[in-house]
Chains A and B, each alone.
Chain A
């Protein structure tokens, strides 16, 4: 207190002192744009981006070239004559074994596998996560632990038993069988995700809803669901990309006419007869990878909006 007051009177009374005080740095400290730190930062970021983008660039330009141009061997040069022929061929004409109807069949198979698997697994996992977080029942902790252990067992161990189980159920080789497998294998990680999310929501909301007389499904549907858009988007991204990119289950549990897109892509790219059509292979790969990419782009925006809409505190 005393120090401040003496300083003030000194500054007012003595012009020299006041000038000395006001001459020093004021306000925001100026920053150099081309500092060493910035050069390092942007340099490394740029290099990393280039490293990841280069293969994509090669794939895109190659898929737009005709075979004569590819044979010249300049993989980085842009196409002289842009052609969409390889894309059409990859989608509708490429041959795998005896079928020559392109990737389109694999695409529709994958869609038929993915849509029900994603919906069913997210629904079941969200309900079980909700009941584990809010309706503690006897043995719920044990049940949860068993589920979590499931997430750490390598898939390969379980493939043969599952083949037998599916055969006995009479769904081996069908899309239904693969949907069941995807739903079950998505369960541990999704349930963990949902349980932790619901546990992080204020417990008092759940209590208030119970006082208001809402039951298990009413609280789930009318209180919890509307607040959980972000976690549903996260679960959807996980499941869509995971199921779409799956190769192992697809190749084990389906037959050639029900192969998902990834398996079919592999068969197109690795077929050994005739000439290797690099442009068609590139186009086919880009087509297969397009779905997860689109999901990321679309739901990324939704995700941010979901977080903003779910804001509880203020």
Chain B
């Protein structure tokens, strides 16, 4: 949709993608894509499967040949370079450890191929093993490792190559939930320690929000929004980004802007919502069909209200989640979810009053689905 503006304020770009197009026959996976990644930045490519995020990563790695466009790594045009000459290390979802080699063999394979001296190889393996705490595993075969250990070895294989850019292709997707959150923290710590540029592909929004300096949300080969996690979460560019990020997802109310008492308000099913506090980039014109998006935690319930505008709603169902309690309510013909503290319980059918925090809400054009 909209081309992401190229950030020109910082001079050094670790990775730059220029007008990248990739098609398989008549199928265009990536169309004219531009992306600049700063030195030492942790960039997450986020999107559902088939959106082209892994394809983009493979292009940067040199494993796929672009149909059109250029790729720069450290200001060097690497479009025609072999993967090994690009100064990258890559970690795969399925670990891709060589099953017949020991952990040490896996770590040293690339260095041996490059013809590095034995002492240097040993030094690098020792360093990587220390950073990743896999020293006791060096003589084991991958089959004798657990999933988390295997992924650590896979990261080690990228580490020993002493590269500028790390590429991660859904590295945690094969692990169970507990290990995933542990390794997520480790990857973040690794980034803070090494300060390398990291490009990380995932479909998991929690991973994206927790790890990223900036997130690029992709859909059908196009970057929808490129921004830091807070901006992505609170000021989504369009309806797709707003719906993709956040769990439970944002509430969407379809309606239109109308003139009421000298003010423009949002009206849906004959219920009007004041838009006071909403930061808009363009004047709000009455008659425009819009979608109002509010996150479940940006709706106040009963006691939290401080005299602002409120609407009657009926509790439909309750989902206690421990720390929070998610309640689903009927409001003006819509079903909306509200997140409240875990201790607050509501009976089904109870009448409550809701107030929307418009400073945190999002308004989208119903036609273009772009943020207003």
Interface residues of A, Cβ cutoff 8 Å to B: 202, 204-205, 207-214, 218, 222-223, 226-227, 309-312, 314
Contact = CB atoms under 8 A, between A and B. Distances in A.
A211 B89 CA distance: 7
Contacts of A205: 96, 98
Interface residues of B, number: 26
A211 B161 CA distance: 10
A207 B143 CA distance: 20
Nearest to A205: B96
Interface string B57-96: 0100111000000000000000000111000111011101
B92 A212 contact: no
Interface of B: 58, 61-63, 82-84, 88-90, 92-94, 96-100, 109-110, 113-114, 143, 157, 161, 169
A314 B151 CA distance: 13
Given A213-B114, A218-B113, A208 B143 contact: no
B143 A314 contact: yes
A311 B97 CA distance: 12
Given A226-B100, A311-B99, A312-B99, A208 B113 contact: no
A211 B99 contact: no
Nearest to A214: B113
A210 B83 contact: yes
B61 A211 contact: yes
B90 A207 contact: yes
Contacts of A210: 62-63, 82-84
A157 B62 CA distance: 47
Contacts of A204: 92-94, 96, 169
B208 to A, nearest CB: 22
Nearest to B98: A223
Nearest to A313: B94
Contacts of A223: 98
14 contacts: A204-B92, A204-B94, A208-B92, A209-B98, A210-B83, A210-B84, A211-B63, A212-B157, A213-B82, A213-B83, A213-B84, A218-B113, A222-B109, A311-B99
B94 A211 contact: no
Nearest to A314: B143
A255 B117 CA distance: 57
Nearest to A223: B98
B32 to A, nearest CB: 25
Contacts of B157: 208, 212
Contact of A207 (B63, B110, B113, B114): B63
B96 A202 contact: yes
A62 to B, nearest CB: 49
Contacts of B169: 204
Contacts of B92: 204, 207-208
Nearest to B105: A222
Contacts of B93: 204
A209 B84 CA distance: 9
Contacts of B113: 212-214, 218
